Structure 1
Amino acid sequence: MLQVENVHAGYGRIPVLTGINFTLTDGQVIGVLGHNGMGKTTLLKTLVGQTSLTSGAIRFDDADITHKSSFLRARAGIGYVPQGRAIFPKLSALDNLRMGFVPSRDLSEEEAIKGIVTEFPRLASILDRAGGALSGGEQQILALARCLCGRPKLLLLDEPTEGIQPSIVDEILQVLIRLHLERGLAIVVVEQHLDFIRRLSDRVLLIEKGAITGEISPDKVDEVQEYGGYVSAG
Structure 2
Amino acid sequence: MIELKTPGEIDAIDAAGSAVARILAAVRERAAPGVRPTELDALAADLIAEAGAVSSFRGYHPRWAPTPYPGVLCVSVNDAVVHGIPARAKLRRGDLLSVDFALHLDGWCADAAFSVVVGEGDPGDEKLIATTEAALQAGIDAAQPGARLGDIGAAVAAVARGAGYGMLADHGGHGVGRSMHEEPHVPNEAKANRGLRLEPGLVIAIEPMLLAGGRDGYRHDRDGWTLRTADGSRAAHAEHTLAITEGGPRILTLP
- TM > 0.5 fold call: no
Q: TM-score, normalised by structure 2?
A: 0.28
Q: TM-score, normalised by structure 1?
A: 0.30
